[in-house]
Structure 1
């Protein structure tokens, strides 16, 4: 297996239409050594020809065949996951992995790794909006929608956008150690490691359309999250049996009624943590959790961080000048 050398080559694999943020992150981190660090990375943009990156068209440094001799291959985010990734890119990434390269995807670049068969039997992630699609398209992959990145040794994947920073810093830490990774993080003015996963950044989706038979029930529940509702209560309101209601919930939301209800209570708690000064106990009461202990336990389990940490991260700052 290859190890970090004086000239560790990082190949940024390109083809088709890419998103510019993730590629810019990789260039910034791997292309700029911290002060005092001499042995750094040699970064190359590798593709079959001019590539569209956001609003820009860029000429690559080398062809995709250069991936075969790279130490690390970074696959950036694809602009459209509905289209299959370019076959030549998939083949080049697979060949690079077979040749011993470490392969990492940023955001929706995971779909390229999936097409190359590199996610089969491995833990993987991508932007939370596309994890279900990634799992459906590559069912042999073990897709985790909550984590910021995954590390399987020579195959790594990052979730969306800012998680690209997390994974790139993780790679630097593996190659150069914690001190150097921390120096890179300080230059970027980001934490070297973020707690929790991407569950804390997921926007709560609308579960059903307005004309669906469950729509009125879900709206009714949303107005009563502070109350001690049971499955029997929901079934009575829907004029059906608890068993039939459970089947409806699983087909529409993918969850049991109690799982869905608990998720809505936690999402409401997130809203209150972001927008109010309510104590944790008051939020527990307002969301039907009962006690602060219960809220903290369930919040940490679903969101990945404690309520207090979530509030510090997402609480809106007052209108004032904030010094970096």
Structure 2
């Protein structure tokens, strides 16, 4: 297992290299001049030229790329063109809110989505199955911004039981942090809960039709033990795959959610940096997001072996 993990970590290097090249090229071909975004339209040509030289934009693209990659290898993501702050420090300030939002959303998928899928599969074609399936369709269909506005209206405005927006670090105020993360987590997690529920239902129904399940039932095992111990364990392998792939989708959903709930996360950071043409900040933030998604998929691969001992790396 250790050898497999090390090999997978090594395999991340070419993936990150491709991402770095694509990201660098795409940001450089975007229309507009970063110096105009920084200095404004009133700046003279001499001021723009001086700023381009100061930022290294007057150098060949391959030289700019080599300088950036060399810094990344050393752990230096550069400095923000707008605030002159280290990009690593800015990301470190914004990353906890987004990671917490992702973790809470995945927890909702495990705590709500998977059990709901199990109940729907066990009670196939019943009223409970119809209700749960309908709720999953609703979770997939409703836009995040509409759900966020609806949650704020009900829980913050009408009932006044949860804050409408804002963020408090978990180390400063645990209760305040958790109460402020409920609505954003439900907003982002609604999609992954629905996906987990539908995938669990389909996978479990397929597993319940296998010969080993019928054999277990024939030996006198209870239906609950047969479902939980035998069928569900095998059915969760594709569920883990789908949920892990949803992390990338969740990252895109955080942009709207963080904006509505005023969360200082990576989504709003990237969007604001793009509008400001703060290329070092965009490059660093996107690279960190890619690493996070790749690591989540690595963890999903390791969970496979725990769920199904037949899977050997």
Q: Taking structure 1 as the reference length, what is the TM-score of the superposition?
A: 0.26
Greater relative contact order (Cα 8 A, min sep 6): structure 1 or 2?
Answer: 2
Structure that is richer in strand per residue: 1
Structure that is richer in helix per residue: 2
